[in-house]
Chain A
Amino acid sequence: MSAGHLIECAQCRAISAWTAQPGTRPDVPASLLRTIQDRLKESLAPVSAAPGAAVLAGRFFAAICALAAAAIPILGVSGVEQMTPVRAAAVVVFFVAALALACMSLAWQMSPGSLQRYSAGGLAAAVAGGFALLASALFPWLAPEEFLTRGVECALTGVLAALPAAVLIGVLLRRGVFVDRWSASLSLGALAGLAGTALLELRCTHQDAAHQMVWHGAVLAVCIGAGLLAGVLRSRAGATPRISKRPPANPA
């Protein structure tokens, strides 16, 4: 309620004054306060504060790049070699931007109370929709050959490529405290899916829109879905947030 509205509206003034009454706030028993203070001081030690969100996001991005550098000699870059310069540039820009946004979302979520400039669900939907749009706009619509056989092989490769990304980023997330488990799992799924799909774009020589949308898109969908399912299961199981028994000590 704005100050101007409070001047005009008697009812809102009454509500505002009422909520500010001292009687509405319960007193904390002194014995309880002492118990809490003593309990905390038993294990009190200096801790090193987590770095800022931008630094964390940079680390995630660097980890994905390192994974890609390791995977390229194995998977090859035949796909990019067949792309036109415009198509290649658009694909690179899309994946760099989407990965950066996903890394930032995870970095924000690692610290409770961080301002989430966009939701994990919104990001996942935007990534999936954006990729479908990119594939349909950039790649030609050709008559599909061995659509199912080639597609399944591609999708499996993409999901397998996403797994190391999920594991590596999952390890980096251990120091965080996530207050919204399903949101964190969804973001991790989206990030791993983007990593797997990006590697697939580098490798895959099937440059037709239907193949890209369905089978490369399936990698994204499977990873996002797996993240969502993991988050829902963890929320239902009531798993406590990943808090180590002792926070990291100050190396100094």
Chain B
Amino acid sequence: MLRYQQGAPEAVDELVERVSPALLHYFSISGAEAEDLLQECWLRIHRSRHTYRPLEPALPWIFAIARHTRLDAYRRKRRREAREILTRNPPERAAPDDPPREDRFAKLLGDLPESQREVLVMLKVSGMTLEEVARATSSTVGAIKQKAHRAYQKLRLVFEKERPS
């Protein structure tokens, strides 16, 4: 991040390669526009890079911007949908070139409330600590622990239902 702030092009390449998979996974949890959100997020990261404080952890800073990008996109989508008028006979959808990959993880996470899902992805998939997730979500460590605990409880219930008798 420091080299990125200093304007080193190789730092851009390294940062984008290392962080993009975790960001793409974070965005894919909430919808189909993950790649668009990834690009928008990187643009916001680029324009905000002066706000990164060198002694602070970088992941919470990046994920805070990612979270803000996702929330803005969600609000824009809601406003757009509120203005749309549904047609009686919608046109047929073209078949996708690649059939969607079944992601069991995403399906199970889909049953969780948005806030719990977000915390679980940051903690378990992106490998962030409790404090880092608290920073990224502008929350407290206690609140994150509570959300994670509730998410695990719900996942345990789902696991129990899926387990063959």
A residues touching B (Cβ–Cβ < 8 Å)?
1, 11-12, 14-16, 18-21, 24-29, 32-33, 35-37, 39-41, 43-50, 52-53, 109-116, 119, 175-177, 179-180, 183, 235-236, 238, 240-241, 243-248, 250
Quick check: B16 and A175 within 8 Å, CB to CB? no
Q: Which of B130-165 contact A (CB under 8 A)?
A: 131-132, 134-136, 138-140, 148, 152, 155-156, 159-160
Residues in chain A near residue B22, CB distance under 8 A = 25
Quick check: A241 and B68 within 8 Å, CB to CB? yes
Q: Which of B67-121 contact A (CB under 8 A)?
A: 67-68, 72, 75-76, 79, 103, 105, 120
Chain B 41-75 interface mask (CB, 8 Å, partner A; 1/0): 01110111111111111011111110110001001
- 24 A-B residue pairs with CB within 8 Å: A16-B124, A19-B120, A24-B103, A26-B24, A28-B38, A32-B35, A32-B39, A33-B16, A35-B39, A39-B42, A40-B16, A40-B46, A44-B9, A49-B51, A112-B51, A112-B68, A113-B135, A116-B138, A179-B64, A179-B67, A180-B68, A183-B138, A243-B47, A245-B47
A16→B159 CA distance, assembly (Å) = 12
Quick check: B12 and A44 within 8 Å, CB to CB? yes
A242→B54 CA distance, assembly (Å) = 21
B residues touching A (Cβ–Cβ < 8 Å)?
5-7, 9, 12-13, 16-17, 20-22, 24-25, 28, 34-35, 38-39, 42-44, 46-57, 59-65, 67-68, 72, 75-76, 79, 103, 105, 120, 124-125, 131-132, 134-136, 138-140, 148, 152, 155-156, 159-160
A247→B139 CA distance, assembly (Å) = 27
Min CB gap B40→A, angstroms: 10
Residues in chain A near residue B7, CB distance under 8 A = 44-47, 250
Choose among B42, B125, B148, B156 the residue that contacts A36 (Cβ–Cβ < 8 A): B42
A245→B42 CA distance, assembly (Å) = 14
Quick check: B56 and A113 within 8 Å, CB to CB? yes
Residues in chain A near residue B59, CB distance under 8 A = 113
User: Beyond A19-B120, A25-B21, A112-B64, is A36–B38 a contact (Cβ under 8 Å)?
Assistant: yes
